[in-house]
Amino acid sequence: MEEVNKDLNLSVIKAFKLLEVYLDNKQEWGVRELAKKTGYNKTTTYRLLSTLESLDIVQKNDDDKYILGLKLFELGNLVSVHKSLRTFSRIPLENIAKDIKETVHFGILRNNQVLYLNKAESEQGLKVSTQIGSYQKAYCTALGKVLLAFSSANLISDYLKHVKLEAFTTNTIITSKNLLVELEQIKTKGYALDMEELELGLICIAIPVFNKNKEVVAGISVSGPSSRFKSENIASYLSIIKKGAMEIERHLHDYN
């Protein structure tokens, strides 16, 4: 299973693969730890870290462990892709979170997954908390399902071709047939529900955000514990979320 690298800078690839280790929800790493994780030689790892440290891409914390540095934060904020989506979603998301008092997420479909571009967290103690910039499975989240439902038939069939439907709870949809039925229903209703399909006790509701050409470009979801998510609230939640979606759409349509 050798990777084919036509003619690329291997040490640059190594450097970034090293940084990607930090996706593992672990903020601080030692040299040997990283060497083990990446499979690189101890010296190579050390040299890479020294290089990255000289650039402020990583830095040492008080325990002399390596953590990601502020230069990376700086560079990440320069990324222009979907910047308008991120900017325009910010205030509407805060408003929704304030009204509903649950965590609100904003995301797009990318590489057959949901990419979270923004969020506004509930101030309650018991809440959902997702990392912006992280990915989640589409077929078992309200956000993912609503994005799929309003996508083209081609994209959906491509999705089903590439993604394995794995069960996380007894509610997870694990057959293509059932997922297609669900997506069809979502498209009719105009919103998607995740009734504990990814995690027990977790319920989400999501609606799409459209561009000028009526194509789905993003989605908004509200997530909370089943204890607080009563079916009689769905309608009022929906109207609040829709108001936010319309505000984002208004900005987007003006922008382009």
Q: Which residues bind a second copy (CB under 8 A)?
A: 5-9, 11-13, 15-16, 19-20, 22-23, 27-28, 47-48, 50-52, 54-55, 57, 59, 67-82, 90-91, 94, 110, 115, 121, 123, 131-134
Q: Total residues contacting DNA (rule CB under 7 A)?
A: 23
Quote the DSSP letter at residue 3. P
- 43, interface contact from DNA, a second copy, none, CB < 5-8 Å by kind: DNA
The helix (H) or strand (E) run that includes residue 90 is: helix 83-100
Return the residue of 1, 4, 9, 164 that touches DNA, per CB under 7 A. 9
47 binds DNA (CB under 7 A): yes
Return the residue of 17, 38, 46, 82 that touches DNA, per CB under 7 A. 46
65 binds DNA (CB under 7 A): yes
4 binds DNA (CB under 7 A): no
69 binds DNA (CB under 7 A): no
For a second copy, the closer of residues 5 and 188 by Cβ is 5
The CA distance from 38 to 27, in Å, is 15
Q: From the CB of 102, what's the least distance to a second copy, in Å?
A: 14
Radius of gyration of the chain (CA): 21
Contacts from 245-248 at CB under 8 Å and sequence distance 24+?
A: 245/92, 245/207, 245/208, 245/209, 245/220, 247/91, 247/92, 247/95, 248/85, 248/88, 248/89, 248/92, 248/209, 248/218, 248/220
Position 251, amino acid: H
10 binds DNA (CB under 7 A): yes
- 41, interface contact from a second copy, DNA, none, CB < 5-8 Å by kind: DNA
Quote the DSSP letter at residue 197. S
- 199, interface contact from DNA, a second copy, none, CB < 5-8 Å by kind: none
- Burial label for 76, CB within 10 Å (0-12, 13-18, 19+), is exposed
11 binds DNA (CB under 7 A): yes
- 72, interface contact from DNA, a second copy, none, CB < 5-8 Å by kind: a second copy
With beta carbons less than 8 A apart as the criterion, state whether 197 and 171 touch. yes
The CA distance from 203 to 33, in Å, is 37
The binding site for DNA (CB under 7 A) comprises 7-12, 14, 30-33, 40-44, 46-50, 64-65
